[in-house]
Amino acid sequence: MTMGLTLDQYAIGALPGPTDYSKSAFTGQAAGALHSTFLVAGSPGPGVAPAGGINGSARTAPYTGTVSAPASVANKRSYLARLEAEQAANVGGVLVADRLWDNTFVVTSTGSQAIATGTLPARDATVAAGVPAPSTNGLGWLAAVEVYAAMGAATPTITITYTAADGTAGRSAVVTGLSGAVAGWFLPFPLQGGDTGVRTITAVQLSVSWVSGTAGLVLYRPIARLGTPAANINNDRNALDMGFPFVADLSCLWEVYRLVGTAAGVTAGSLAFSQA
C-alpha cells in the first residue's frame, strides 16, 4: 500500500460512494445491554429468524437485514474507509460486524444439540506477508446468542462447544440467558483463554428450558466500533483512526448497539469503502 495516496484515490473508478443505513426506534433490554439491529425495520430492511434450524446457514451478501460489502476488483482488497453514525436516544456506541453464520436452537431442550455448520465463508482475519488473505480458520470470529422473539421466564446457562481458530476441538464457552429477553438482545460468548477465534460451533446446551421464544447463535467478525455518546450529533472515524479494517468480499455487515437506556431512538449512519 502506498501511503502517499489518499483514500479517495484508492477508490477512484472502483467503488460507489458511501452506503447509508437507517433504523427505526426500538425498545432494547436495558442500559449496558447489546442490541442487534438485524430485526429492526429500516434500511436495510429487517431480517427474520434464520430458517436453517440447528445447523444454520452460512451467509454471503446479499442477505436481508445486512449491508452488502463490495467485491474487490483487480486483485485489490476492500477496507472500511469511513464509518459515520448518529443516534436519537439511548445508544452509546455501535459495532459494525460481518455476519458469517446463524441458526436457531430448541429453547425448551436441555440435552446437547449437535451442530454441523457445513462450509463457512472464507472471511476470517488471516493475514499472509502483511496482506489480508482470509480463510475459514476462524481467526477473529466470535459467537453470540441472538434473540428473535421474546423469551420465557427462565435464566438458563447456555454452553457452546466449539473448535478454536488454531484447530483445537472441544473448547467451551458459557453465558447466562435472561428471563424475558427481548427480541434483538445480543450476548457474546467469552472464549477460553488463549483462543483467537471460533472456527466452528459443534454443539449448544441449555441447563434448563428457556420456556418459550426464539433464539439462535451467530458467528461474526467485528470490523469497527464507534462511540455515539451524544444524541442527535453524528460521530465518525476514518480508516487511519480505525486501523484500516479489512472487509472480506461480500461480507454481510450489520450494526450492534450498546444501549444506555431501553428506549432507543432512530439510528443512522454510513459506511464508505476503499480498495488497495
Read off the pLDDT of residues 203-233 as tens digits, 9 standing for 90 and up: 999 999 999 999 999 999 999 999 999 999 9
- State the Cα–Cα distance between residues 101 and 122, nearest whole angstrom: 12
Using one digit for the tens of pLDDT, what is the confidence trace for 36-55? Answer: 999 999 999 999 999 989 99
pLDDT at 266: 98
Smallest CA-to-CA distance from 7 within 79, 83, 85, 72 is with 79
Residue with cell 439511548: 90
pLDDT of residue 214: 98
8-state DSSP, 9: H
Q: Where are the domains of the chain?
A: 26-229+242-264
- As a whole number, mean pLDDT of residues 111-136 equals 93
Q: Is the pLDDT of residue 268 over 70?
A: yes
Range 250-255 average pLDDT? 97
Residues sharing a CB contact under 8 Å with residue 268, sequence separation 6 or more, in sequence order: 20, 21, 22, 23, 85, 86, 87
Averaged pLDDT of the chain? 93
Q: State pLDDT tens for residues 67-83.
A: 999 888 877 899 999 99
DSSP string for residues in 119-169: SPPS-S--EETTEE---SS-TT-EEEEEEEE---S---EEEEEEEETTS--
12: pLDDT strictly greater than 60: no
Q: How confident is the model over 242-261, as a mean pLDDT?
A: 96
- pLDDT recorded at residue 9: 34
